[in-house]
Amino acid sequence: MNPIEQHEQLTTIIEQEVRARRHRAAAPSKPTPHPSGERLYDYALGWLDSSENTEIQRHLAVCPACVRELGAILKFEQALEIEDEQPSIVERAALWMSKLWMPLWAGELVTAADIPAQKHRFEMEAGSGEITVTCFWRGEDENAPAYLHIAWRADMQTPGEFRARFVSAETQTPLVELPLGRRLYGEKTFTSQELGFDPSRQRWGIGITLVEIDSIPDEGA
């Protein structure tokens, strides 16, 4: 997508937001379920057919939260394109680095009742493997700090250690990289202290890196 198309898309979003406000002013809004993260991404990237587009647009007309998410997705994708043009950061002994993904609602306080866990499939080149990652996060309360829960399931032949790398969704700058271990599936919870940022307040993106086992100290995984 070129900058002009991106600009046009952002303009469309603003128009949708204006229409949504008028609509709410005119009639009480009728809540429909939020589209899944994958669907909203597909919509943002123009991969849906026209009837699916209409369905999403109807929802966007009454859901300012999803309009905001769509705006964040487009901003993130735009930043990724800029990143792609720059020389990549040299990662020590990385066997594979996935693209980055910004989960829907990342950086927002969400409740279990409203927002389901967000799921994404990262694919390796030429169908040589994939890893599916599911995330959910909660804000701080009186009993516990803010945390991020991550579950992964990999289907790949290359042995290595999985690491989750987090970036700021606004600037694409690295936030932290944390080990997930060598198992093909598992789950981990990281507190805001371990992450160094609050996943319920700061917009973030995540990518998976597979590193050579020999190149890193044994972390008992």
Contact positions vs Zn ion (CB under 5 A): 34, 63, 66
Count of C-beta atoms within a 10 Å radius of residue 213: 14
Q: Where are the alpha helices (DSSP H) in 63-149?
A: 64-85
CA atoms of 104 and 34, how far apart (whole Å): 11
Distance in Å, CB of 104 to Zn ion, minimum: 9
Q: How far is CA 187 from the centre of its chain?
A: 17
Distance CA 74, CA 129 (A): 27
Q: What is the nearest approach in angstroms of Zn ion to the Cβ of residue 67?
A: 8
Please, which residues have CB within 8 angstroms of residue 75's CB and are 6 or more apart in sequence? 169, 170
**d(C-alpha 42, C-alpha 36), whole Å:** 10
- Strand-strand pairing, 147-156 and 161-168: unpaired
| Shortest CB 169 distance to Zn ion, Å | 19
Q: Which is nearer to Zn ion, 116 or 179 (CB)?
A: 116
Residue placing its CB nearer to Zn ion in the complex, 69 or 161: 69
Cβ-based nearer residue to Zn ion, 65 or 184: 65
Least distance in angstroms from the C-beta of 35 to Zn ion = 7
Instruction: For Zn ion, give the closer residue by CB, 32 or 193.
Output: 32
Q: How far is the CB of 79 from Zn ion (least distance, A)?
A: 23
Comparison of 37 and 199: residue with beta carbon closer to Zn ion? 37
